């Protein structure tokens, strides 16, 4: 019997599970297009990870009734939506737009974060590392210069671990912006790439 419909072409490519989210310094690592963060930079266990590439289009219309002639991209954004489970000073600092890797927030159960002192979110580096179910193939996302823009919510539950949402937005990292580097001139928000362990 002939098989119809979408048939799997490669059984090693379906995505099942979550990516490991690593956060670190943007400034000291801006010149590297290769991964520089390690598992020690991970924010720990997460409830969800979601990459979003949002593009706004201008649609040229003409005639009566109006019909579309063409579409032109006018704006692009890239972001990573994450809900983290490990409620540590560093993770909360990141979620509030602070530099969680600064050393102030290194302890798991001690430290302090001042409230009511909002300021421009720190620039950080994101590396998302997803390992396919075969255990060797990886899909990685790097935002070399990103900011975290979130409203922090700590919803306590009776029988499930708290998962705090965080929005990590890519910002320009090319040589035309202060804090950028020429290695990102042809990929100003960063890159997605595939590799084998």
Q: What are the structural domain ranges in the chain?
A: 20-55+70-196
182: left (phi over 0), alpha (psi -120 to 50) or beta: alpha
pLDDT over threshold 80, residue 157: yes
Contact 129, 19 (CB under 8 A): yes
pLDDT digit string (tens) for 28-85? 999 999 999 999 999 999 999 999 999 999 999 999 999 999 999 999 999 999 999 9
């Amino acid at each position: 019997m002939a098989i119809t419909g979408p048939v799997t072409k490669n059984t090693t490519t379906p995505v099942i599970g979550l990516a490991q989210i690593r956060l670190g310094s943007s400034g000291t690592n801006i010149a590297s297009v290769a991964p520089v963060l390690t598992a020690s930079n991970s924010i720990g266990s997460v409830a969800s990870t979601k990459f979003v590439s949002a593009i706004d289009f201008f649609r040229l219309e003409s005639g009566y009734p109006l019909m579309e002639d063409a579409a032109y991209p006018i704006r692009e954004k890239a972001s990573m939506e994450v809900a983290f489970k490990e409620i540590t000073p560093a993770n909360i600092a990141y979620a509030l737009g602070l530099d969680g890797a600064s050393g102030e927030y290194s302890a798991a159960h001690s430290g302090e974060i001042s409230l009511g002192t909002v300021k421009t979110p720190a620039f950080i580096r994101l590396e998302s590392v997803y390992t396919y179910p075969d255990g060797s193939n990886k899909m990685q996302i790097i935002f070399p210069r990103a900011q975290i823009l979130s409203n922090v919510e700590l919803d306590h539950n009776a029988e499930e671990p708290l998962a705090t949402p965080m929005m990590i937005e890519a910002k320009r990292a090319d040589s035309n912006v202060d804090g950028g580097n020429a290695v990102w001139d042809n990929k100003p928000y960063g890159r997605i790439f595939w590799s084998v362990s």
